[in-house]
Chains A and B, each alone.
Chain A
């Protein structure tokens, strides 16, 4: 296999694996802030137990997130050296800010969060929880800013030519607030909140179904349900706004998302379908003119199609982009329906009597995770053949001096090590869930 493909597979694999964890940390962080805040406010033992229980799971998630994140930082240099030289000037300030303001905050306070229960006052501990949570939110900001700049570059100019060409910052704030960053940061945060909230919902739904830890689980379930309902609804707004941005700034990506080929004509909105890139036909269930309506509030408005771009500037995997995008949307819609219905039951007072609803929640933990993954797949594959949209092609950006055998070597190592890591993650998650929330509290009592 050639170096470019291997480098892409390795990057995709390592970043997709990494992206299981940080969203969970951000989402669990939010819930821990709520649990611990309620504990400080009410002094109720239940909230302390919940905080301690979820802190243990948070610690594992965070740890794997950091370990796999360091690899991402260095993989830019090892496998994408042309890209690194091209974007270094732009990413530099974003990365420096991420490291100093965000990562420094979360990693130092993490020690106090996990090991400090018996060493600092409850208030200081709560401040540390908030610090770690904010740190992880800021981290997401800078990383998404950097990626958004690749989607919609702004505040820069290009100097040099050929191998020595690179982008330089001309306006820091224009670079930070490039056309897509705000929409995408909010969208990513919300995806992360959903990942965390649904893990909490799933675990406590499981306890409720088993009839274990009922009182405490009802409390946790209601809090997480409130978060999940609000976020899945508002996710629709940031998603729509994000898609509007894609329509304006990356028309080729939008066209690929809906399999729209004709250079300029009204575009349909598919519920689901299958794209044949050869015949340029989509088979599926659609709302005619739906995409035109969503973008221009007019069913007849023309939308730029893939054929408006030269072949070499079109995303190669149209069907994949289409499918990933639609899976994300379908999951989003399902989560809205599910959380709204559950909230209705809550209001009616019959939420915890409906076993089948709890069962769905117990399994739904996977859905936000899948949506987060496929959303990124659609965003990144839809940007192809560019790594920096309109400027640097992916097939020019990888490290030419690295051989395919070297990448094969590291790729196999990654598969092995990450498989071990993933098994350990599932194993310890399962163990903590089986032990239940009172195990941590009990340990503490024994010592006291």
Chain B
């Protein structure tokens, strides 16, 4: 098997996919999270400002989902196909909510009628909550494992089997993490009345975040079999849960000191560390089979050919710096507090 710096290609691609999904979680985390607060803002102007805080950014942030999904399709077609067809209903709901969310952003402020704005405000709120929640539910299901038989055939339930208690718990935790991220982002982008309101909301909201985080962590340790085995084999990796814990603890501290820029960094780090934790715990498995570990989808049996992975890694090496440049330019252009003008939503 070909390697680069001593790491084989499937592992490298696993890192690329992980990086893309953590970028997606961080960036769309504040997009979706901001939207999940939407109905908590009372004034029409506050709601408009909140949407315009992500206005020029959300289309670009969405690129991470598209590239992440593409990277999964490209590098691990078996994983992509098995996961999406097994999780058919949650993914279809997720996609539908994405469409409704885009429509809400674009059309909400296009008309002044109160019923019009109210309908879109509710749509926007519900879609953001549902998207965040469903992403967590899918992650929870991956951690629990799927009923995968020989030839990666999914044999589990089809309509509601994705709604297990553990998956729901991960769903709620994801929602609260995103809402924390979203509120901190909005605090950075707003001033005046909305800013004051957010300070109050975030303080309350963080309690949910801490509680659900604690429950999910305990639940994982107790109910997911073999979750600590990997760490016992490689004690050095105990650093990951430790870092995650420190990052989580640091967020309320920075928020109470009103240091929102750093709070955003640490809440982003929280998500990255948690995803790293999941990635490390699963590696090299992508989708555990609950029927027989030999049926699990792994980065080796799911991977594209060495040749194809090599080409894609080359594309990433060329493309990623370009994308980083575009993003720097975009975020620099729209740095600072939201100012509504004739181009706003």
Contacts and interface: CB of A to CB of B under 8 A. Distances in A.
Given A67-B99, A169-B305, A428-B110, A95 B326 contact: no
B91 A74 contact: yes
B304 interface: yes
Of B65, B154, B322, B323, which is in contact with the most chain A CB atoms at under 10 Å from its CB? B323
A63 B77 CA distance: 28
Contacts of A273: none
Contact of A93 (B312, B341, B344): B312
B239 interface: no
A403 B92 contact: no
Given A92-B312, A401-B154, A71 B99 contact: yes
B179 interface: no
Contact of B99 (A60, A68, A399): A68
A89 B84 contact: no
B190 to A, nearest CB: 17
Contacts of A430: none
A98 B67 CA distance: 9
B209 to A, nearest CB: 28
A82 B312 contact: no
A382 B285 CA distance: 41
A279 interface: no
B221 to A, nearest CB: 32
B60 interface: yes
Interface string A164-199: 101011101000000000000000000000000000
Interface in B190-210: none
A78 B84 contact: yes
Contacts of A431: 110
Interface of chain A, main secondary structure:
helix
B102 A63 contact: yes
A341 interface: no
B319 A421 contact: no
Contacts of B322: 100-101, 104-105
Given A66-B59, A100-B316, A402-B158, A105 B73 contact: no
Interface residues of B, number: 69
Contact of A406 (B158, B319, B323): B158
B343 A115 contact: yes
Contact of A108 (B77, B326, B342): B326
Contacts of B85: 77-79, 81, 399, 401-402
B81 A95 contact: no
Contacts of A96: 67, 70-71, 74, 312, 315-316, 319
A77 B59 CA distance: 23
B89 A406 contact: yes
A84 B73 contact: yes
A447 B339 CA distance: 12
A107 B95 CA distance: 19
A111 B74 contact: no
B234 interface: no
A88 B89 contact: no
A168 B70 contact: no
A350 interface: no
A417 B82 CA distance: 26
A110 B59 CA distance: 8
A88 B82 CA distance: 13
Interface of B: 55-57, 59-60, 62-63, 65-67, 69-71, 73-78, 80-86, 88-89, 91-92, 95-96, 98-100, 102-103, 106-107, 110, 151, 153-155, 158-159, 304-305, 307-308, 311-312, 315-316, 318-320, 322-323, 326-327, 329-330, 333-334, 341-344
List the 9 closest pairs (A to B, CB-CB), nearest first: A88-B77, A92-B74, A100-B319, A77-B84, A111-B56, A81-B81, A108-B326, A99-B67, A399-B85
